[in-house]
Amino acid sequence: MSLTIKDLVINQGVTLRTGATAPLPSGSQSAYTSPGTYTFTVPYDVTSVCVVCVGAGASGSASNPSGGNSSFGSFVIAQGGQGLYGGTVLAGTGFSGGTGGNPRVVPTGSAGGQGGGAGGYTSVGGNGGSFSGEYQAGAGGGGVGLYGGTVGGSGGLDQVGGAGGSGGSSGGAGGAYAAVPRGGAGGAYGGGGGGYRDAGVAAYGGGGGALAYQNSISVTPGQQITVTVGQGGSGGTGGAGGNGAVRIIWGAGRAFPSTQTGNV
């Protein structure tokens, strides 16, 4: 079905010229996956949306730079990993990210801690393991996907990156035996970075970002809402945290965590 409209906003924030024709946006979505601040314009004929936000993961390093928060106005806010600790849900429903693992420090060098996983739709992200070997950097924690589901990302384990939860990507493996091997990067979205290996330095794994969602948010066609996507922490040879993300869906009968949350 098509509808002739005059200077109304439809779909993903595009304003049509006078007299233009466009389909009704019944069951659409808009996703933001690059760090930054955006303006979401509520489409024509949409009065309710469902939103999921994933906070960015922290870097794995001695200082653990935190990941940025991701938000949809003040309705849904997912905190990024806060250094060693996983981010928490500041607004909406969801779960915290996993904590990063502790390093193993020995007189001749150190092994970096593992990154924590991103929070999930029904469970906390996995905690990063503490390294059992020597002279190796930690692996990144797994990220979480934006299409609904259950579990969050798993924590990194030794040199194997944590698995991605609910469609997210797995964290990167940690390097080994180089002079200063890098920690593995956290998976998209929200995985914590792995700690690097360096002589005498306590390189912790980074915490994973939280996941928060909210259903049936009342909106007005044409309303503009600020969307923020957090950037993963970055700290030299520590593994970078996975960036955050925001996804918005609308249409009858759709709801997170898993009711018609795919692209339709």
Q: In what order do the strands lie in the sheet with 93-95?
A: 29-32, 245-249, 48-54, 211-218, 93-95
Q: By residue range, what is the domain housing residue 70?
A: 27-264
> What is the pLDDT, as a whole number, of residue 238?
84
Is 220 inside any structural domain?
Answer: yes
Band of pLDDT at residue 5, cut at 50, 70 and 90 = very low
DSSP 8-state assignment for residue 160: B
Collapse the DSSP code of 144 into the 3-class scheme (helix H, G, I; strand E, B; otherwise coil) and give the result: strand
19 within domain boundaries: no
For residue 93, tell me if it sits in a domain: yes
Has residue 88 been placed in a domain?
yes
User: In whole numbers, what is the pLDDT of the chain averaged over residues?
Assistant: 84
Please report whether residue 16 resides in a domain: no
Q: Where are the alpha helices (DSSP H) in 128-261?
A: none
The total number of structural domains in the chain stands at 1
Q: What is the DSSP letter of 64?
A: -
Q: Which residues contact 107 (CB under 8 A, 6 or more apart)?
A: none
Q: Looking at the predicted structure, is the pLDDT value of residue 247 above 80?
A: yes
In a domain, 243, yes or no: yes
Q: What is the CA radius of gyration of the chain?
A: 20
Q: Beta partners for 255?
A: 259
Q: Say if 8 falls within a structural domain.
A: no
Read off the amino acid at residue 245.
A
Residue 5, in any domain of the structure: no
